[in-house]
Amino acid sequence: MTETGTLYVVATPLGNTDDFSPRARAVLEGADVVLAEDTRRAGLLFKRLGLEKHGRLMSFFEHNEDKRLPRVLDILEDGLDVALISDAGTPLLSDPGFTLVRACRDHAIRVRPVPGPSAPVTALSASGLPPLPYTFLGFAPRKKSQTEKLFQTHRDTGATLVLFERKSRLAGTLAIARDILGDREFCVARELTKDYEEFIRGTLNALEDTDLDLRGELTVIIGPAGEIGEADEEAVLALIAEEAEAGGRPKEIARRVAERVQGWTAKQVYALMRD
């Protein structure tokens, strides 16, 4: 029986080519096939890194992943090694590859990570916002209603939120975050590891004070509730009494109070009401 090949999940530079590891270089040069989101961009990356293309490049992106899967599995089962790369950073994080990795595990095909640059972790490490716990949300949805639902789902978790966003949608997404999450600190990391790398800090209630007309690749970090001027318990109790007079169920009252006060989630307000 022929021994299967190995699928290598290889991280590539976000911008600075010096971040490319010797191990990643050896894996890409030794792979029989390299799967890439964009073979043209991959070819330019190989050239920039001074890599020899011993293996062949095969396109592997969101809209052809399912179609390519049987062919890639056949290649691996024939004993050939395959490397998976994204346009930049670590594959699978908002990039194709999960279906392939899962299929390899199901078929007892070896999968080995070749770690390196990762935009979410890189941005978080230098943002100045709490690093733990954090939740990576990928790209924000295109529809406003879906983005609202996403933030509602993660509003009361206490985690720092990390996401990718396009420059044309950045201001709108942060405005939605303000409406759903309340006032929180945020940081936009632009052009990570590149010459024009920049970290823009602000608060969601003062978006108009921050220049959000930014170019380049953007990673957004939104801090957890409670980091900005927390109101004390006495002030929150006064608001609870005020909102209770307006009527509504306890959880609805808690939600209204949380929307009016900094540093408190609806869950925390509700717990105070029950004490």
125-130: Cβ within 8 A, 24+ apart: 126/189, 126/199, 127/187, 127/189, 127/199, 127/201, 127/221, 128/187, 128/199, 128/201, 129/160, 129/185, 129/186, 129/187, 129/221, 129/222, 129/223, 129/227, 130/160, 130/223, 130/224, 130/227
Q: Where are the domains of the chain?
A: 6-117, 120-222, 233-274
pLDDT band at 144; cut points 50, 70, 90? very high
Residue 173 has pLDDT above 90, yes or no: yes
High-pLDDT (> 90) share of the chain, %: 67
Helix H, strand E, coil C: the string for 218-273 is EEEEECCCCCCCCCCHHHHHHHHHHHHHHCCCHHHHHHHHHHHCCCCCHHHHHHHH
| Top-confidence residue, 255 or 127 | 127
CATH node for 6-117: 3.40.1010.10
Q: Report the pLDDT averaged over residues 176-182.
A: 94
Residue 243 has pLDDT above 80, yes or no: yes
pLDDT on residue 103? 97
User: What Rg do the C-alpha atoms of the chain give, in angstroms?
Assistant: 23
Residue 1 has pLDDT above 60, yes or no: no
98's CB contacts (< 8 A; 6+ apart) are 92
pLDDT digit string, tens, across residues 248-264: 899 889 888 877 766 67
pLDDT digit string, tens, across residues 182-237: 989 999 999 999 999 999 988 898 888 888 889 889 999 999 987 554 567 887 88
pLDDT on residue 94? 82
CATH node for 120-222: 3.30.950.10
**Which amino acid is residue 258, in one-letter code?**
A
pLDDT on residue 256? 82
Across 93-97, 116-120, 197-201, 228-232, least confident range: 228-232
pLDDT on residue 197? 93
